[in-house]
Structure 1
Amino acid sequence: MSTDYLQELLQSQVAAGTDPAYWWGDRVPVASIDKSVTDLLDLTGKKAIVTGGAGRNLGQACVNRLAALGADVAAIDLPATEAVRKRLRWAEPPDVKAVAARASEKWDARVVGIEGDVVTKTGIEAAIAESVEQLGGVDILVNNAIEVRVGDFLGMSYEDIELSARGTFVAPVYCTRVALEHMIPQGRGVIVNVCSEASQTATPSLTVYGALKLGMNGFTNFAGKELARHGIRVVGVNPGCMWGPDRDLLDDTPEGLYPLVRTAIQRFQLPEEVANMIAFLSTDAASCMAGTMVNMGGGMSL
């Protein structure tokens, strides 16, 4: 298709009395017609925020993939303190500033590390404000951070459920709300929600987690519909079982865990494979995707 065709279409519609904004205007990415896919994947000049950006599995993978495409990136995560280690129970907290420095050097990109708690209201507001100040704006938000309790549902306390709801659902929803204060005035933005393919299939010990991630799928659908008129695309990914450095801190073994995940591709995923899709969804190559989820679990829910 050529731009000449679209111009002729516009002229015919105007002649028929149709409002030209319906066919044209900024909503139609006409300039993309003559660009290569590689050009559309370029994020040079875009400002991206990744919550949970120091996470050794998906967080760091997202930071690196976005930086590699040319984006300026703010990685937000908890400070690497003993108190945080005890709070997370099993995860050794990495240093977000060191993560940012390594990504910046590796990709010759601008990557900053922001210490903050994006599970609390004040922490979310402060971390996003600092990120916007350091980057000079925000075009992309990856809601990756999570705090959750998993295990036998009958063994979960009220506090476990409340913490999981706040850290898995309330926090990313409010992160989105705060980021929109910067995105809507500029008339553009992309929100990528990290959900889970556990929301698509019942998995032992993941009852609360799976239900909350299903809620994030719904939020992605509804927000994608509501916010599209503002030029904001809301999309999400459903990862499956990723195997990365953090898995070494668990009692799981590949042999013991695999029967539970049942992937069609008959293997675990690399965090970088999921981050590939997150990076793609953040670019103009995905300009017509809104309010939709992409399953990235290797066929886990089939």
Structure 2
Amino acid sequence: MKLQGKRALITGGSSGIGFAIAEAILAKGAEVAITGRRLDVLAEAARRLRQGGRRVESIAADVSTETGRETTLKLALEKLGGLDVLVNNAGGVRAGRLEDATEAEIRTMIEVDLVAPILLTRAALPALRASKDGLVVNVTSGIALVAAPFYATYAGVKGGLAKFGESLRRELKGEGVHVMTVYPGATDTPMMRSSRAGPELGFTREPANAVAAAVIEGMEQDAFEVIRGGEARAKMIALNREDPAALDKRFLDLKPALAEAVRDHSAL
């Protein structure tokens, strides 16, 4: 895909990976609409993105709600005059032991990380088809490829989003809409601030702009997926497929320290 002149809607675009993707796609000559729930953060993000005279629209909405999705798509289409790229980036996490998570926290992850992108994509498909060069980008997580303990629900919904994208890519093949799935590793974003897991536990954080650069490259190459984490992640993925018991043992050794490090990891 050539990004020059494309019209992109990025959910959760006011911070973290979403903001970095917005910066990167604007630099390629695209027009962007970002969404966010916090008006002050959204306004500041839009101000920063508009520097240099770039076309940036901001939409205050919660895409986990029906009203928020309707508002998001309606305003994006009105302000941009159509839609070529949808980036489903908004997400939330609550780590820790499953029995310590409340039902409300579990349902929030399901709604924000899985239901919202499915329903927003469904609503956006007519506009993406009309583009004749449409693209859906689903930002999942490396945990969708190698599930870590204490992230059971998060792994479930991100894994679900990944398979949703794979199925939809095949469903839309030949219809002018491509689907790409992104698997970030640990990234230095506001979502990770409450996590104390570091490199010693396998959570080596990279800058959000590095993830965004890889996403843009994937868009331009019509890639099926973008997997972050380098050789170490690739080895874990292979081990998880070939000898999952060995990976279970590795996680068993890390469990006490990991449980403590992610006990308070929450961004919902």
User: TM over 0.5, yes or no?
Assistant: yes
Q: 1:19-38 alignment to 2 at 5 Å?
A: none
Question: For residues 51 and 244 of structure 1, what CA distance do their matches in structure 2 show?
Answer: 15
CA contact 1:143–1:193 (8 Å) conserved in 2? yes
Match of residue 241, structure 1, among 157, 178, 186: 186
1:72 alignment partner in structure 2: 31
Give yes or no for the alignment of 1:53 onto 2:10. no
Q: Which runs of 5+ in 1 are unaligned?
A: 1-39, 81-93
Give yes or no for the alignment of 1:186 onto 2:131. yes
Question: For residues 161 and 204 of structure 1, what CA distance do their matches in structure 2 show?
Answer: 16
2:55 alignment partner in structure 1: 110
- Describe the SS at the equivalent of 2:104: helix
CA contact 1:148–1:167 (8 Å) conserved in 2? no
Corresponding pairs, count: 234
User: Counterpart amino acid of 1:101?
Assistant: R
CA contact 2:218–2:225 (8 Å) conserved in 1? no
Question: For residues 203 and 245 of structure 1, what CA distance do their matches in structure 2 show?
Answer: 20
C-alpha change, 1:244 and 1:159, in structure 2 (3 Å) is: closer
Q: Which runs of 5+ in 2 are unaligned?
A: 237-268
CA contact 1:62–1:272 (8 Å) conserved in 2? yes
- Describe the SS at the equivalent of 1:225: helix
- Describe the SS at the equivalent of 1:228: coil
User: Counterpart amino acid of 2:32?
Assistant: V
1:145-200 deviation per Cα after TM superposition (whole angstroms, max 9, x unaligned): 01332221121232222211111100111111111121123323000100111112
What TM-score results when the alignment is normalised by the length of structure 2?
0.81
1:194-247 deviation per Cα after TM superposition (whole angstroms, max 9, x unaligned): 011111223132111011111111011100000122110001110000124554
Match of residue 46, structure 2, among 89, 97, 100: 100
Give yes or no for the alignment of 1:297 onto 2:229. yes
1:152 alignment partner in structure 2: 97
1:62-88 deviation per Cα after TM superposition (whole angstroms, max 9, x unaligned): 1100111110000111133xxxxxxxx
1:94-114 deviation per Cα after TM superposition (whole angstroms, max 9, x unaligned): 5212211211214x3211111
Q: 1:233-272 alignment to 2 at 5 Å?
A: 233-244=178-189, 247=192, 249-250=193-194, 252=196, 256-261=197-202, 267-272=204-209
- Describe the SS at the equivalent of 2:93: coil
1:257-284 deviation per Cα after TM superposition (whole angstroms, max 9, x unaligned): 223326xxxx42111111112222333x
CA-CA distance at 1:251 after TM superposition: 5.1
C-alpha change, 1:138 and 1:223, in structure 2 (3 Å) is: same
- Describe the SS at the equivalent of 1:105: coil
Q: Which has the higher contact order (CA 8 A, sep 6+)?
A: 2
CA contact 1:51–1:145 (8 Å) conserved in 2? yes
Question: For residues 176 and 199 of structure 1, what CA distance do their matches in structure 2 show?
Answer: 20
What TM-score results when the alignment is normalised by the length of structure 1?
0.72
Question: For residues 251 and 171 of structure 1, what CA distance do their matches in structure 2 show?
Answer: 24
